Amino acid sequence: MSDTNRQATFRGYGRSLPMALLRARDTVMNRFRPILRSHDVTEQQFRILRALTTAKELRAVDVSKMTLLSPPSLSRTIKGLEGRKLITRRIEKEDQRAFMLSITKKGAALVALIGQQSEAEYLDIEGRIGSKKMDQLHRLLSEVEEKI
Amino acid sequence: MSDTNRQATFRGYGRSLPMALLRARDTVMNRFRPILRSHDVTEQQFRILRALTTAKELRAVDVSKMTLLSPPSLSRTIKGLEGRKLITRRIEKEDQRAFMLSITKKGAALVALIGQQSEAEYLDIEGRIGSKKMDQLHRLLSEVEEKI
DNA sequence: AAAAACAAGTTGATATGTTAACTATTGTTA
DNA sequence: TAACAATAGTTAACATATCAACTTGTTTTT
């Protein structure tokens, strides 16, 4: 549909920010999905594992926020990761409602391995886009998060 | 974790493009979710409806690509939309495997209404980010799609 | 301190996503 | 043209997402 004959109230398909972000993410993830898959790790599981590499321990609620996984999803996904000995959990003494999650050595090794394999893809992506534009994109995305 | 003492092979949480795109999209969608919800329309349903406003008829497979919904998801979601008389389908004569989907008047009216209500949010977002940066962001996202 | 409000996490019901297998049709090739 | 391959869509099985309700523990109010 042309830009001139569409309804005035209708924002063209190409100008929908959520769709643009979704398509871009899908495009990028196409590069990484085979890697994750080869290690039998889902996107969501990897988000959790990677979040846990940023600290010795993290409260479940904070992991939920970092990974954008809802508490129920996190709760269920954690079970599998625990079963595979990729993470551990313990109850926080100060607040007995809270769980503290940590990544195990095995989990950290897996994240490191996947990270290594992903790095080649990242470098290729940066090569295609250019590091300057890449920085620009990251800055703009941060701005969206902060200002909206 | 500081930038200096993390493993060299590990790309920091903030520099993950997929996460940055996911967070940005989530932030933006927080503005629109209440509107969709008030009309009893899910994100996925709205993506389909809106795709169908861009042409008189579309092949299901094309809607699937436009909306980034997998064929099974599309197939199921369509049933609900048909049941609510928001879309119709007919078999393509030239290719009897294919379904042609169209939006109904009722569906178009719903999209227009949601579009109107969303426009206020879009304007607010543009106001906060600035239309120049907004254009920049759209351009960069398109570039990611094209070059990767 | 008791009551109320709030917060962390889990569970259950239902919807949606994903993969593989399948049917039907169309396109290609030997 | 017969055989094979590819495409469109659906279905089934299973994983994950979502929403509400619930349990337990903590904080705030009165």
Q: For residue B127, is it within any domain?
A: yes
Cβ pair A87, A78 in contact under 8 A: yes
- Which residue bears the tokens 């993506």? B47
pLDDT at A29 over 90: yes
Q: For residue B99, is it within any domain?
A: yes
The CA distance from B51 to B125, in Å, is 22
Closest-lying nucleotide for B69 based on CA to C1': C17
Supply the DSSP string of chain B, one letter for each residue: --TTTS-TTPPPGGG-HHHHHHHHHHHHHHHHHHHHHHTT--HHHHHHHHHHTTSS-EEHHHHHHHHT--HHHHHHHHHHHHHTTSEEEEE-SS-TT-EEEEE-HHHHHHHHHHHHHHHHHHHHHHHHH-HHHHHHHHHHHHHHHHH-
Q: For residue A9, is it within any domain?
A: no
Domain that holds residue A130: 16-147
Q: For residue B76, is it within any domain?
A: yes
Q: How many CB atoms lie within 10 A of CB A79?
A: 10
Q: For residue A117, is it within any domain?
A: yes
Q: Nearest by CB to B112, from A9, A116, A140: name it.
A: A9
Would you call B128 and A112 a contact, using CB atoms and an 8 Å cutoff? no
Would you call A11 and B115 a contact, using CB atoms and an 8 Å cutoff? yes
Q: CB contacts < 8 Å between A and B, how many?
A: 152
Whole-number pLDDT of residue A5? 33
Confidence band, pLDDT 50/70/90 cuts, at residue A11 = low
Residue A63 dihedral angles phi and psi, to the nearest 5°: -60, -40
Whole-number pLDDT of residue A4? 31
Q: Is the CB of A81 under 7 A from strand C?
A: no
For residue B37, give how far its alpha carbon lies from the nearest alpha carbon of chain A (Å): 16
For residue A89, the surrounding DSSP H or E stretch is strand A87-91
Whole-number pLDDT of residue B4? 32
- The number of folded domains in chain B is 1
Q: For residue A133, is it within any domain?
A: yes
CA–chain centroid gap for B101, Å, is: 17
Q: Nearest by CB to A10, from B7, B27, B53: name it.
A: B53
Residues of chain B with pLDDT under 50: 1-10
CA–chain centroid gap for B2, Å, is: 36
Whole-number pLDDT of residue B13? 74
User: Strand D: which nucleotides have any atom within 7 A of a protein Cβ?
Assistant: 7-13, 15-20, 24-27
For residue B145, give how far its alpha carbon lies from the nearest alpha carbon of chain A (Å): 5
Whole-number pLDDT of residue B79? 93
Q: For residue A107, is it within any domain?
A: yes
Confidence band, pLDDT 50/70/90 cuts, at residue A13 = confident
Whole-number pLDDT of residue B15? 82
Q: For residue A3, is it within any domain?
A: no
In this structure, what CATH number is given to the domain that contains residue A100?
A: 1.10.10.10
Would you call B27 and A144 a contact, using CB atoms and an 8 Å cutoff? yes
As given in the structure block, the two tokens for residue B51 are 């795709």
Confidence band, pLDDT 50/70/90 cuts, at residue A15 = confident
Q: What is the pLDDT of residues A45-56, one digit of tens each?
A: 999 999 999 999
Whole-number pLDDT of residue A89? 95
Overall average pLDDT of the A83-88 stretch: 95
Please state, rounded to an integer, the average pLDDT across all residues of chain B: 90
Looking at beta carbons, which residues of chain A come within 8 Å of B115?
Answer: 7, 9-11
